[in-house]
């Protein structure tokens, strides 16, 4: 169970990461739409696990690899945004959120 502090930091990071993907690190996502679906912060506030939904799916792996390769740059940009609110910027771990793909698959199977 996440504490109130973890949830607040998660929401803060989610909001700022979403804005960053739209404005500051556009070249990393290569014209795809990247949505930050969930951010979970560990209890020591040292790691932020960021779940991304990438659309369209045909470039998903390429864009995800590009984001993970530039992790330190993204963390630095995040630090500039939230530096006043957080003493320590957590390490970022990115994951692909495939829940939308799962829902699409269920819909497709039900329609058959």
| pLDDT digit string, tens, across residues 31-40 | 888 889 999 9
Query: What CATH number does residue 94 fall under?
Result: 3.30.300.20
55-76 pLDDT, tens digit per residue, is 887 888 899 999 999 999 999 9
Q: The whole model's pTM is what?
A: 0.85
pLDDT above 90 (res 79): yes
SS3 per residue for the chain = CCCHHHHHHHHHHHHHHHHHHHHCCHHHHCCCEEEEEEEEECCCCCEEEEEEEEECHHHHHHHHHHHHHCHHHHHHHHHHHHCCCCCCCCEEEEEECCHHHHHHHHHHHHHC
Mean pLDDT of the chain: 89
73 lies in which domain range? Answer: 4-111
Query: In the chain, how many domains are there?
Result: 1
């Amino acid at each position: 169970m996440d504490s109130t502090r973890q949830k607040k930091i998660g929401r803060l990071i989610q909001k700022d990461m979403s804005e960053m993907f739209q404005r500051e690190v556009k070249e990393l996502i290569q014209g795809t739409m990247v949505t930050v679906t969930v951010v979970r912060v560990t209890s020591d506030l040292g790691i932020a696990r960021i779940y991304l939904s990438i659309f369209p799916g045909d470039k998903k792996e390429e864009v995800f690899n590009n984001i993970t390769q530039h992790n330190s740059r993204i963390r630095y940009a995040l630090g500039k945004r939230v530096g006043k609110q957080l003493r320590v910027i957590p390490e970022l771990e990115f994951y692909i959120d495939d829940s939308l793909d799962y829902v699409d698959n269920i819909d497709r199977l039900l329609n058959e």
